[in-house]
Structure 1
Amino acid sequence: MRQQLKHQIDSINQNILRLGTMIEESLWTATQALIDSDMRKAQSVLDNKEEMASFKSDLITKVLTSIATEHPIATDLQNLMSGIRVIFELERMADYCGHMATAVIELGTEQRRYPSGSVRKISESCILLLRQVLSDFLHKTDRNQQEALRESQKIKDLIGALRYKLKQKMKEDPQYVDQCLTVYSMISSLEGFGNRTVNIASEIHIMR
């Protein structure tokens, strides 16, 4: 039974990693949709949300089934419960990707008057941070902790700088206030994405 449970936990963790990869792709697609004013890419993010939601539900079912049938104790139970918490953090991150895609569609194809390159840099840092954290989760280690902390701080700094630029742009060009406010909401989604990733890092610390 112990070997069977170990196999189930390993499979669950690999699927958590797969879900994380799906979310990375979703975030990057939403970012590219913004940069390219590509409504198809934005819509594909929204379309893929249903697939991710179904994958998440199946994954939660597998975790609960393992708990109900294998009766794990101590470390095994803790790992499974941590897995559930990580899955829900990832679910919220998928929601943030959806919010970004919706914002891109709201912006439409009008001429851009904001630094989209800054959004790209923030997204790249968010993706790198998520990869570092999920790698640590999979291997039950904190070897990437210092790098993750640096990347988290970088995200905060980039967000702060971009918010300042947007405020300045709104003062200089009032006609683009609505556009800048929409991008402002996207930044809040990226901030939430980063914060949820930090929550996963905290979960890893508890597991150890």
Structure 2
Amino acid sequence: MRDIFDAELKQLGDDLEAMSSRVEQAVTNAGRALLTADLTLAESVIADDLAIDALERDLDERCVRLLAQQQPVATDLRVVVSALRMSASLERMGDLARHVAQVTRARYPEVAVPAGLEETFTQMQDAAVRVARRVTTLLGTRDLALAESIEQDDDLLDELHSDTFAAMLGGEWEHGPQATVDVTLLSRYYERFGDHGVSVARRIVYLVTGATAEALDPAAVRGS
């Protein structure tokens, strides 16, 4: 019986990693579509989000079944409850990638990012992809040094989010209301993407160390 339960717990971990890999692909394609006004790629991100949603539903159903049938305690309970929470964060990350793609579709054939902010959004895109890639690796390896890196990229996304508002509120902003709305939404999507990546990272730290601190202590992550 224990062997079966252990196999089910391992499958939860494998499925979370697979779900994260899909999110990584989604945000990669969403950003590429955004910066190049690639309608076909944007449409594929929007359609593929259904698969991420389906993975979350399946994983959550199995978690609930494990809680009901196995009544896990201690570490096993932490694993199952954490899987539920991480799947919710990953699903939301997929939604945010879809939202970016939807802005691209709405502005096609124009590029949604206005002149002067291309570099800012390129940096946001690069940081979001790093977050997604590191989350996927972290789920598979439990390498806590990656959790610290995810926090750092989230900090960068926060800074870039602030930069977009500084640009819009500055005296040189010459773009219309629609561009202002688009930039506000896109910047927020990327900023929240980083937040959800941090949520997954902190949940892994909790599983490995039992720590529940609101912020990761870099020294603790490095084991020093």
TM-score (ref. length: structure 2): 0.82
Instruction: Give the length in aligned residue pairs.
Output: 206
Distance 2:173 2:188 in 1: 22
Flag the 1:141–1:38 CA change in 2: closer, same or farther, 3 A.
Answer: closer
Output aligned runs, 1:99-138, within 5 Å. 99-110=99-110, 113-114=114-115, 115-138=117-140
Higher helix share: 1
Distance 2:137 2:67 in 1: 24
Match of 2:221 in 1: none
Distance 1:92 1:71 in 2: 28
Distance 1:89 1:172 in 2: 34
Match of 2:144 in 1: 142
2:56–2:87: 8 Å Cα contact kept in structure 1? yes
Tell me which amino acid in the other structure corresponds to 1:192.
Answer: R
1:39–1:108: 8 Å Cα contact kept in structure 2? yes
Q: How far is the alpha carbon of 1:192 from its aligned partner?
A: 0.8
Sequence identity (%): 18
Match of 1:173 in 2: 174
Q: How far is the alpha carbon of 1:54 from its aligned partner?
A: 1.3
Match of 2:75 in 1: 75
What root-mean-square deviation, in Å, do the aligned CA atoms of Structure 1 and Structure 2 show?
2.1
Tell me which amino acid in the other structure corresponds to 2:174.
Answer: D
Instruction: Say yes or no: does 1:162 pair with 2:170.
Output: no
Partner secondary structure for residue 179 of structure 1: helix
1:33–1:101: 8 Å Cα contact kept in structure 2? yes
Match of 2:188 in 1: 188
Output aligned runs, 1:38-117, within 5 Å. 38-110=38-110, 113-114=114-115, 115-117=117-119
After superposing the two structures, state which structure 1 stretch, 2-11 or 150-159, moved more.
150-159
Match of 2:204 in 1: 204
Per-residue Cα deviation, 1:103-136 (whole angstroms, up to 9, x for no partner): 1112121366332342232122122123334433
Distance 1:136 1:172 in 2: 40
Partner secondary structure for residue 52 of structure 1: helix
Match of 1:17 in 2: 17
TM-score (ref. length: structure 1): 0.88
Q: How far is the alpha carbon of 1:63 from its aligned partner?
A: 1.8
2:131–2:197: 8 Å Cα contact kept in structure 1? yes
